[in-house]
Structure 1
Amino acid sequence: MVIRTPPTDRGQLHQSDVRSPLTWPHGHVCFDEGRLWVHPDYVETFQQRGWTTLEAVMQAEDVTVVRRVGQRDNTRLTLARASDGKVVRAYMKRHVSRCFGDWLFGIVSGRGWSPPGIAEAESVAAARRAGVATMTTIAAGCEINERPWQAASFFVSEEIDGGVPADDFWRAEFPSDAGGDNEHDPRRDAVIEALARSARRLHGAGMFHRDFYWCHFFVRQHPHEPGKFAAHLIDLQRIVRRPLLAARWRLKDLAQFVYSIPEGALSNDERRRWFEYYRDIDRWSWSHRLEWAAIRVRAWFYRVKERL
């Protein structure tokens, strides 16, 4: 077992949670000749479980399978965190998919490519550098072989403490339809702003999610300041960074967000206010009006496609 420490990242520290390194795999402990990287807080519990090789993690059965999607399984488990002695709920994704097309596109485009588990760890670090609230990485790893597109991989993260999926949070906190009395609740506007600012930071850093739905934001109320909220973005394994057609990916993300707004949740004024927070504007220019129209049209196409 060795600890490898890549060069220190030069980006500014935006996140208050300094336990999560801002470059991958900076500060993580290396096992299995580079196939497995673990946060120092969880080295002991991984060793106790016998998870010191990639194969052991990929074949582990002492986890709860939440769902299987194609050749990926999403699991839930609990792990002891050494820094404070807490038992933490965690989530692990294990991928065994074959990604030749994605690999080839990454190589040809010059953007490079990583197996999904490693890609998510890299994206979490990049998102944190941009000041986007997201998950805390526990561990990640992948096979090392001559055919990287066939490499099995995994990613483990801490549960977002106190976080609730945005759509579930909204239904629970604001059960009345938009346009009712609770539309004037300042907490609604605070949540809308938190969601918009998260999107603004992500896109401002040249990163695009590709699955930018409400359910991929976990809303958490500030523990000491009632009425203040944070929106944590999850499922980052498909993020593209600084693509050539950035405007296309931005439109796709924003349209997915609007499309996934729970039915009846936001009034038209609130939707427009979300866009104003995203663009950080008080007045709308013609370019803003055109962009907003394009977002709504793309979201409408998603709804039509869903019904077909």
Structure 2
Amino acid sequence: MSACNEMMLPERLKLKLGQHDLFDRVMALDGEVFRDVPGRKTIRVIIDEQPYFIKQHFGVGWSEIFKNLLAFKIPIVSASTEKLAIEKLGEIGIPTTPLAGFGARGCSPASRQSFLITRDLGDIISLETLADAWLINPPQARFKRQLLLAVAGLAANLHDSGLNHRDFYICHICLDKPALVDGEIRLYLIDLHRVGIRETIRPRDRMKDMAALYFSAMNAGLTVRDYLRFLQHYRQKPLKQIFKEEFQFWQQVQQRAIKLYIKLHRVEPTLAQIGAKLGANH
């Protein structure tokens, strides 16, 4: 296998898919389509009576690469970004979709093909779906507090380890429902194909992640106390110290979140939705 080609598949999957032309066989698999965008498709398949998700990357083309570079963005040209993110999350103790296979073919970044196979997480619910249900049936205060602190801990671990998600919305944080029956709040971070990995997270990357999280939680019925509790747990500092040292940063987070809300909903969020307006005279 050349330096540009990679293949990682367990023997049981090789036996089910066939020993020859494995890469082509995986790229040709059909299943329930969860996402289908230019150059990339996500499907759910059953192999050997086990459910898997397969992300197939077919090549992005030079135009997409140049468009990203001109916008000062790192182009995502293969599934290797998500593979590395899964491995890194495993190292720092953040549960995610378990890696079951990976393959890549081709040296050119524009035409490089790849796939990522992950095991289905089973009975989970996204925090976005959960928050939507809260509009009709508000959660118990204790459960909401525990969940809020769990999300804050996940975010802190992610960012303090040098990672930024780049799509850090609550729809990409999922709750394990069977674990919840046993009294455990177990969260999974998913959709990792754009994750950035560095020794230390850049302030702007942290700000964008937190703004996305803030924006996506605006309709969850959070109170000012909820927001402050989250902030204190995320930063592990007294609130007075946070606002003294980081006020401008959190003001940027809120301003960006409000802009995202207006862009999507064509209306400004209410004061209740944002918790409290951070002004220059706070």
Q: What range describes the TM-score normalised by the shorter chain of this pair?
A: 0.7 to 0.9
Q: Is 1:89 aligned to residue 51 of structure 2?
A: yes
Contact 1:220 1:231 in 2 (8 A): yes
Structure-2 residue corresponding to 1:35? 6
Q: TM-score, normalized by length of structure 2?
A: 0.79
Structure-2 residue corresponding to 1:6? none
- Deviation (angstroms), 1:167: 1.2
Q: TM-score, normalized by length of structure 1?
A: 0.73
SS at match of 1:223: helix
Contact 1:95 1:116 in 2 (8 A): yes
Q: Which runs of 5+ in 1 are unaligned?
A: 1-29, 81-86
Structure-2 residue corresponding to 1:161? 122
| 1:216-245 CA-partner distances (Å, limit 9, x unpaired) | 111125738744312211111111112887
In the alignment, the residues of structure 1 paired with residue 27 and residue 144 of structure 2 have an alpha-carbon distance, to the nearest angstrom, of 42
| 1:52-99 CA-partner distances (Å, limit 9, x unpaired) | 5211111123x222331222111011233xxxxxx4322111112326
In the alignment, the residues of structure 2 paired with residue 154 and residue 103 of structure 1 have an alpha-carbon distance, to the nearest angstrom, of 23
In the alignment, the residues of structure 2 paired with residue 135 and residue 150 of structure 1 have an alpha-carbon distance, to the nearest angstrom, of 26
Counterparts in 2 of 1:85-234, with a 5 A limit?
87-98=49-60, 100=62, 115-145=77-107, 147-172=108-133, 175-176=136-137, 182=139, 185-221=141-177, 223=179, 226-234=182-190
% same residue:
21
Contact 1:187 1:228 in 2 (8 A): no
1:296 to 254, 277, 281: 254
CA RMSD of aligned residues (A): 3.1
SS at match of 1:138: strand
- Deviation (angstroms), 1:297: 0.8
1:57 to 13, 26, 33: 26
SS at match of 2:79: helix
Contact 1:124 1:137 in 2 (8 A): yes
Contact 1:186 1:227 in 2 (8 A): no
Contact 1:221 1:227 in 2 (8 A): no
Contact 1:138 1:158 in 2 (8 A): yes
In the alignment, the residues of structure 2 paired with residue 302 and residue 218 of structure 1 have an alpha-carbon distance, to the nearest angstrom, of 22
- Deviation (angstroms), 1:148: 2.9
Q: Is 1:254 aligned to residue 210 of structure 2?
A: yes
SS at match of 1:73: strand
Contact 1:143 1:151 in 2 (8 A): yes
Structure-2 residue corresponding to 1:26? none
Q: Is 1:263 aligned to residue 224 of structure 2?
A: no
Structure-2 residue corresponding to 1:238? 194
Contact 2:165 2:195 in 1 (8 A): yes
Runs of 4+ in 1 over 6 A off after TM superposition: 103-106
Change (3 A) 1:294 1:188: same
- Deviation (angstroms), 1:185: 2.1
Contact 1:103 1:149 in 2 (8 A): no
In the alignment, the residues of structure 2 paired with residue 132 and residue 116 of structure 1 have an alpha-carbon distance, to the nearest angstrom, of 23
Name the amino acid aligned to 1:149: A
Name the amino acid aligned to 2:250: W
- Deviation (angstroms), 1:280: 1.7
Contact 1:192 1:274 in 2 (8 A): yes
- Aligned residue-pair number: 258
